[in-house]
Structure 1
Amino acid sequence: MAYRINYLYRNLQKEIGYANDKHNSVYDAIALAEGVDLTDFHRMENQVANVSRNDRKTMKDFREEYFAKLGFSQVVIAREE
């Protein structure tokens, strides 16, 4: 099933297509669409995962804060009908 991701990037509303088989996560998809390098993010994400023992809330908070610093906000996933 196909999805759409709606988000704000530097105060501009954007929308892209998303498929689970093409991207590791929603955040990877929007970063790819905007040409953002996530090398540092993935390194830090692995460190947070090791320290937090994969606590979902900690991981979610880390992702949202990191992407907010990059200029992303209001990330919403919607099914295509």
Structure 2
Amino acid sequence: MARHISYKFKGEWKKIPFSYDKYADSYEAVAAAEGIDLTAFRKMEQQVAMTAKGTGALKDYRKNAFVKMGFSEILLLRDDQEPFNL
């Protein structure tokens, strides 16, 4: 089944193809599509993962970091789905 990612970057909706063969997750895919280097983000993400007691802190960090980069509403879609606002 084909998958796509729909996301909003700096107020503009975009849609890209997605494959787990190429990207580890949707965050990595949207950053690559926008040409953003995730080296510093990955280092901090590892530190948060080592010190956090649950997965909530890691999810919050990831979401907040991507909001600061300009991303919002990152949605993983099947081929037959369309986001409501695209």
Q: TM class by shorter-chain length?
A: over 0.9
TM-score between the two structures when normalised by the length of structure 2 = 0.87
Tell me, in whole angstroms, the C-alpha distance in 2 between the residues paired with 1:58 and 1:18. 26
Amino acid at match of 1:79: R
Q: Match of 1:43, SS? A: helix
Partner of 1:26: 26
Aligned length: 80
Q: Match of 1:16, SS? A: strand
Compare the two structures and name the one with the higher helix fraction: 1
Amino acid at match of 2:10: R
Q: Is 1:64 paired with 2:63?
A: yes
4+ residue segments displaced more than 3 Å: none
How far apart are residue 25 of structure 1 and its match? 1.0
Partner of 1:77: 76
For structure 2, the residue ranges without an aligned partner over 5 or more in a row are 81-86
Q: Calculate the aligned-residue CA RMSD, in Å.
A: 1.0
For structure 1, the residue ranges without an aligned partner over 5 or more in a row are none
TM-score between the two structures when normalised by the length of structure 1 = 0.93
How far apart are residue 2 of structure 1 and its match? 2.1
Tell me, in whole angstroms, the C-alpha distance in 2 between the residues paired with 1:65 and 1:19. 24
- Describe the superposition over 1:8-47 as per-residue Cα deviations: whole angstroms up to 9, x where unpaired: 1011110001111110111000000000010100000000
